[in-house]
Amino acid sequence: MLAGRIDERAQIADLAATIDEPTLAIDLADVTYINSLGVRDWVTFLRTLARQDVALTLERCAEVMVLQMNMIVDARGSAKIASFYAPFACDACGWEGAALVRTEDVQPLVPLGRAPVTTCPDCQQEARFADFVDRYFLFLAA
């Protein structure tokens, strides 16, 4: 699990060399911030794992990581994304927030231009996706 800020002090690039498992799952739910140096290290980390033939699965990717993967193809690399957070809004009560969605549920909707829905945690009504489908889910097309 990676949590908090990913920047030049996180030293994740060195982490890859210590991994000798054939598969690895990383939970990215608690990543709050990533800067350009952090992205560079993250890309190095992914490439090193790929060279070591480690099958990487990313779970519960925070929105900041999704935004990076949408801007920089290499920020996803060959990793499998199992689930990620997406922004939702509830018209009934005004709730806005991130909800976890599973890639296998969202992936079929994207080519149709459709967005997933979630249940509002406050009023239990249906909350709608609060970004652009062709932008926020761009990384799924890679």
Whose Cβ is closer to Zn ion: residue 8's or residue 122's? Answer: 122
Task: Please tell me the distance from the alpha carbon of residue 50 to that of residue 52, in angstroms, as a whole number.
Answer: 5
Write out the two tokens for 41. Answer: 């290290």
| Min separation Cβ 112 and Zn ion, Å | 25
Task: Please tell me the distance from the alpha carbon of residue 59 to that of residue 78, in angstroms, as a whole number.
Answer: 14
Whose Cβ is closer to Zn ion: residue 79's or residue 120's? Answer: 120
| Min separation Cβ 116 and Zn ion, Å | 16
Name the residue among 64, 61, 86, 71 with its Cα closest to residue 5: 64
Whose Cβ is closer to Zn ion: residue 77's or residue 116's? Answer: 116
Give residue 49's identity as a one-letter amino acid code: L
| Min separation Cβ 96 and Zn ion, Å | 10
Where along the sequence are the contacts to Zn ion (CB under 5 A)?
A: 90, 92-93, 95, 120, 122-123, 125
